[in-house]
């Protein structure tokens, strides 16, 4: 499986996202410039210029017309995917960490970091069909969570919002009223900050990765823990195959800690596990630094990883992969 190496970022990668059709891949990095690539051959299509800080997260609308990006420059921007034109900028008083379009793309959930005397918050914004009609006001603002909220996504049918972050607790909120409906049990939940969260294609379950060196699979409706995948290093990124029962975890220590600890920590690979049996199936090596971002193509035939080394690696699976037996 020879990866395609995509070098378009000057700084570490932070997030990867395929569009619904799986023909485009969007990458975010600490270099202020989100980039779009062809997902089959890794050719760079263009960049979105306008942010003045690290871009932490992005999402693309179902029709691939709009891109939304959240950045450390305290803004969230809406872009026209095809032209790279900025359609609208939401301004916040603190860095924007996570963005997610609702089903139907009429709403977006955005999380902002604790900053100066502001606490972290989850904002729901109405996304207008016509950028001219776009308003800055939040439909809903949720507060009360300690520490940074690293990820917030929509639950099934946009009825709930699922959030997770530094306090290691997963919370489910009512998207209409903002009421807290459920939170993960401290006993079975993560012990350290949750870095990443990935929903299944049908939203029935989701996967979280944490600095406690594990990833956990949860039932979206009841927040019951289904499975736990243990590794020997902190998990920075997680993704699930839409085709097979496979989960992929990426991570590794900070580059600064590599020389002082276990000598195997230098192996920064994306590890594949059987979703049901928890067996490790294999790993894909290649990055010169921790993996910060992972994404599966919606067709399940390829995946990409982004690392601290500034590279995006695009892997198209060999035929053998689809016939792995455990």
Amino acid 265: pLDDT: 47
pLDDT at 267 over 90: no
The answer, yes or no, to whether residue 258 has pLDDT greater than 60, is no
Please report the pLDDT score of residue 326 as a whole number: 73
Task: Tell me the pLDDT tens digit for each residue of 144-182.
Answer: 899 999 999 999 999 999 999 999 999 999 999 999 999
Express the helix, strand and coil content of the chain in percent, nearest 5 each.
Answer: 5, 50, 45
Question: What tokens does 116 get?
Answer: 């100066």
- Please tell me the predicted confidence (pLDDT) of residue 117: 92
**What three-state secondary structure class fits 14?**
strand
**Distance from C-alpha of 196 to C-alpha of 166, rounded to nearest angstrom:** 11
pLDDT, tens digit (0-9, with 9 covering 90-100), for 270-326:
999 999 999 999 999 999 999 999 999 999 999 999 999 999 999 999 999 998 887
Mean pLDDT of 241-258: 83
Over residues 70-116, the pLDDT tens digits come to 999 999 999 999 999 999 999 999 999 999 999 999 999 999 999 99
Q: What is the pLDDT of residues 135-148, one digit of tens each?
A: 999 999 999 899 99
Reported as a single tens digit per residue, the pLDDT across 8-31 is: 999 999 999 999 999 999 999 999
Compute the mean pLDDT over every residue in the chain, rounded to the nearest whole number. 94
Cα–Cα dist 187/116, whole Å: 32
Q: What is the pLDDT of residue 325?
A: 82
Instruction: For the beta carbon of residue 244, count every other beta carbon within 10 angstroms.
Output: 16
Q: Rounded to an integer, what distance in angstroms lies between the CA atom of residue 48 and that of residue 147?
A: 30
Find out whether 176 and 168 touch, Cβ atoms under 8 Å.
no
pLDDT tens digit string along 206-243? Answer: 999 999 999 999 999 999 999 999 999 999 999 999 99
Which of 60-69, 186-195, 257-266 comes out lowest in average pLDDT? 257-266
Q: Where are the domains of the chain?
A: 231-317
């Amino acid at each position: 499986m020879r990866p395609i190496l995509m070098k378009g970022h000057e700084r570490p990668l932070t997030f990867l996202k395929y569009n619904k059709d799986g023909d485009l891949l969007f990458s975010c990095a600490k270099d202020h410039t989100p980039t779009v690539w062809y997902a089959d051959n890794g050719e760079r299509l263009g960049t979105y210029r306008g942010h003045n800080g690290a871009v932490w997260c992005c999402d693309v609308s179902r029709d691939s017309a709009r891109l939304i990006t959240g950045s450390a420059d305290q803004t969230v921007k809406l872009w026209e995917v095809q032209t790279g034109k900025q359609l609208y900028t939401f301004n916040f008083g603190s860095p924007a960490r996570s963005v997610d379009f609702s089903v139907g793309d009429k709403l977006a959930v955005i999380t902002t970091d604790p900053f100066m005397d502001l606490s972290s918050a989850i904002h729901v914004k109405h996304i207008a069909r016509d950028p001219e009609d776009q308003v800055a006001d939040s439909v809903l603002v949720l507060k009360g969570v300690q520490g940074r909220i690293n990820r917030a996504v929509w639950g099934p049918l946009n009825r709930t919002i699922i959030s997770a972050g530094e306090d290691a607790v997963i919370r489910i909120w009512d998207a209409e009223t903002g009421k807290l409906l459920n939170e993960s049990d401290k006993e079975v939940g993560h012990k350290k900050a949750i870095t990443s969260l990935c929903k299944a294609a049908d939203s029935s379950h989701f996967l979280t990765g944490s600095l406690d060196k594990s990833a956990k699979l949860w039932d979206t409706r009841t927040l019951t823990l289904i499975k736990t995948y243990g590794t020997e290093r902190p998990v920075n990124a997680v993704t699930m195959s839409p085709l097979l029962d496979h989960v992929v975890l990426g991570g590794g220590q900070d580059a600064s800690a590599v020389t002082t600890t276990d000598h195997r920590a230098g192996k920064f690979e994306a590890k594949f596990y059987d979703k049901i049996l928890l067996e490790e199936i294999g790993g894909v090596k290649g990055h010169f630094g921790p993996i910060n971002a992972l994404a599966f193509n919606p067709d399940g035939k390829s995946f990409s990883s982004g690392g601290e080394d500034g590279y995006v690696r695009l892997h198209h699976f060999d035929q053998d992969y689809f016939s792995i037996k455990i």
